[in-house]
Copies of this chain bind each other. A is one copy, B any other.
């Protein structure tokens, strides 16, 4: 299963940090690629440095046409999931998500999202019905999707690797 993320509604400057967090979460939780609508190239550079140090091939794509991504995904075998506080409860739909085959496109917005997205998505899922954070919503959804397996993933050609420990910080230099 390949998972991509589409980030919509990024507001310049104001959302820079949140979008960086979204990218870091996507990368750390096993997503292969993120599309950022109207994002800033700076985010791409930040994540590229993280890849160099911590490994993996996570890809950041700044796009100016999110409808194209959506229509490409419509043709693909898989599902389109839109995370929104107005959607169906996560606890009630995860079984159905796990039963569906193919790849997954996860769409996350910011404050305002075009109504079209609610209609075009196969699932509108609420990570709770309270306002919180797209960073958190993405993380919880991916954790449920991969059932905790995302934390066992190895990142190839990493320069550093953390060695889990009870107390303190252990970092292994690989290259």
Interface residues of A (CB under 8 A from B): 14-15, 17-18, 21, 24-25, 27-29, 50, 54, 84-91, 115, 118-119, 124, 126-133, 135-140, 143-144, 148, 150-152, 155, 161-162, 164-171
- 18 pairs from A and B in contact (CB 8 Å cutoff): A15-B17, A24-B136, A28-B131, A29-B136, A54-B131, A86-B165, A86-B168, A86-B169, A86-B171, A90-B151, A91-B152, A118-B167, A119-B168, A133-B139, A136-B139, A139-B139, A139-B140, A143-B143
Complex Cα–Cα for A137 and B131 (A): 17
Q: Is B151 touching A86 in the complex (CB atoms < 8 A)? A: no
Complex Cα–Cα for A140 and B28 (A): 13
**Which residue in chain B gives the minimum CB-CB distance to A21?**
B133
Interface of A is mostly: mixed
**Which residue in chain B gives the minimum CB-CB distance to A54?**
B130
Q: Name A28's contact: one of B90, B119, B132, B144 (CB within 8 Å).
A: B132
A1 to chain B, nearest CB (A): 18
A116 to chain B, nearest CB (A): 11
Q: Is B126 touching A164 in the complex (CB atoms < 8 A)? A: yes
